[in-house]
Structure formats: C-alpha cells, structure tokens
Amino acid sequence: MFELIRANRRRSVLLVAGFVAFLALVGAAIGALTGYGLWGTLIALVLSGAIAFASYWKADAIALAVSRAKPADPEQYQRLHNLVEGLCIASGLPKPRIYVVDDPAPNAFATGRNPRHAAIAVTSGLLEKLNRVELEGVLAHELSHIRNYDILVSTLAVTLVGAVAILTDTAIRLMWWNGGRVPREGDRDNGNNPLALIGFALLILAPIIAKAMQATISRQRETLADVSACQMTRYPPGLISALEKLRDDTTVTHSASTATAHLWIEQPMSGVGDRGKLGGIHRMFDTHPPLDERIALLREL
C-alpha cells in the first residue's frame, strides 16, 4: 500500500509536468500561427508555470466554488462531522473541511493540495440515500484520496484542463479576426507552411488530448482509494453497498462539470453506460472505472 502511495506521488509529478509541457506546446503552436514564434512559446511557458503555481494554492477553492459547495454546519450535519472525525482519528489524518452540495444525485469528492489543506464535499442526495455504514465507506474513500495524495494532481487538473481550453479558444479567435486571415508583412503564407498546418491541427485536438489526460489521472486512483477505504473501515460490505446504490441511481450530478468530473467518487456526467453508437467514444473519456468492476474487486477482498 505504501509503495502504491509513493508511486502515486511520482506519477502525480510526471502528470503535472506533462500538463505544463503540453501547455507550452500549445503556446508554440499559437506562436507559429499568429506570427509570434519564440515569443509565443516563452509566453506560454510563463503562463503555464503561473497557472500551475496558482492552481497549487487555489484550485481547491475553485473546485468547491464551481461545484457550489457550502460549508457543512456542525449542528445541522452532526452525523457527517462525527463520521469524518472518527475516520480521521482511526487513520491519523487531520480533519478536512467539510462541505455539502445541494444536489439530489448521490456523489462526493475530495480536493486540496495536501492532507493539512484538504476538503471533502458530499451532495445532499448522498446524505439522504445512504445509511450510516454506507456513508462511512464513501467518506473513507474520499479520505483515502487525501491520504494517498491523489487530491493534488486531481485538483490541479481542473485548472490545467481549463487553461488548455482557454488558450486554444483564444488562439482560434485571434486567427479568425487577424492572425490566420491576414499574414504579417514579410511573413510567408501560413496556409502553405506545414508547421502552421500541424499547429492548427494541434489547436483543434488540444482540448480532446487534455480531456484524455484528465481521464488517465483518475481511473487507477479510484481503484486504489476503494481498497484503501476498506482498509480504513475494516468493513468492505459498507462501501460495496454504497457503490451498488450509486450504480443503480441514474440521477445526473448537476453540480458537476467536465472540468471537475474526475474528482467525484462516481462518474457524474451523462453518457455513462452508453451502449449505443457513441458508447465507445464515451468510454474513452470516462474518468472512472465501471462501478461493476470496482464492486467485483472489493468482493474479492
């Protein structure tokens, strides 16, 4: 387990570095297409570094705000606070901040940069539909994300994926209004430049590539968090029952977005389980393993 946690940290560093490098590559494409060349790449490097640094400090607040999470009042949500405190004492973790999202779909997520600066958010639907043992299993899953240091890279991905989308959208608009339609004096015709064509293709594909990178961040971490949660509670049937209820519930989590989908315990967006013509495409961007696979794994413990 501890070796898996160390491997998780190493992969997290590599994934964040990959995101920053990908942002720089997008910046280089923008520079080639708008005529700024090396300056475009340098600006993208500075911008990606600034975004990564800002994300380290503020991405948890952004994720909570995007999800419309509100602090859980200790008196109104006494059971929730008691369960989290008990699990934290048993696992030696500091108690995270606790939030509630007003959403009928049962779901939950953890965010933050480290165990001392972490937060857990649960939906009102989760509190209503799960019993105490099932809720404890879900909370243990989220605390496992915190203990295993999954939350940092998952939270960084929220803003880094958004940064790729903003850069590409801005570049395409600039090309439409000026750079791509009116070449600078003395420049070669960008339309006949192979590098420019490659750069334009990269801008089109960049958001898709970023989403695929986001999906790879989450899948293995969900399985590890499931196993860690059972180790924490010493009662796998609790989490198994919770995941079965999540599987059988078809409510879409309206408080989730494509940027935060990988944070939640269950794939929150529509299209999950699609067996139609677009089912294969949907599965390519699934941020979670199928719930049936996760349940089957836990039954073997």
User: Is 142 a catalytic site residue?
Assistant: yes
Token pair in block for residue 237: 């049937």
123: β partners: 101
Q: Contact, 238 vs 220, CB < 8 A? A: no
What are φ and ψ of residue 67, in 5° steps? -85, 0
Q: Is 251 exposed, middle or buried, given 0-12, 13-18 or 19+ CB atoms closer than 10 A?
A: middle
Q: Is 273 exposed, middle or buried, given 0-12, 13-18 or 19+ CB atoms closer than 10 A?
A: middle
Quote the pLDDT of residue 207: 64
Nearest by Cα to 64 from 22, 146, 123: 123
Please give the C-alpha separations between residue 20 and each of 51, 53, 249, in angstroms, as whole numbers.
Answer: 9, 11, 37
Tokens 């000026």 correspond to 178
Given the residues 142, 266, 293, 300, select the one marked as catalytic: 142
Tally of structural domains, the chain: 1
Per-residue pLDDT of the chain in tens (301 residues, 90 and over written 9) = 666 667 766 766 777 677 777 777 777 776 666 666 567 667 766 776 676 677 678 878 888 998 999 999 999 999 999 999 999 999 999 999 999 999 999 999 999 888 999 999 999 999 999 999 999 999 999 999 998 888 877 766 666 666 666 666 666 666 665 544 444 444 444 444 555 566 566 666 666 666 666 666 666 688 889 999 999 999 999 999 999 999 999 888 888 876 677 789 988 765 544 454 554 555 555 667 889 999 998 998 7
User: H or E stretch including 112?
Assistant: strand 108-114
Q: How far apart are CA 301 and CA 298, in angstroms?
A: 5
CB count in 10 Å sphere of residue 201: 11
What are φ and ψ of residue 123, in 5° steps? -85, 160
Tokens 């049962």 correspond to 106
Side-chain half-sphere CA neighbours of 8 within 13 A: 25
Long-range contact set of residues 186-190: C-beta below 8 Å, sequence gap at least 24 = 187/35, 190/33
108: β partners: 122
Q: How far apart are CA 146 and CA 143, in angstroms?
A: 5
* Domain region containing 169: 2-299
DSSP 264: B
Please give the C-alpha separations between residue 115 and each of 44, 106, 119, 156, 208, in angstroms, as whole numbers.
Answer: 31, 24, 9, 15, 31
Q: How far apart are CA 200 and CA 212, in angstroms?
A: 19
Give pTM, 2 decimals.
0.74
Quote the pLDDT of residue 4: 64
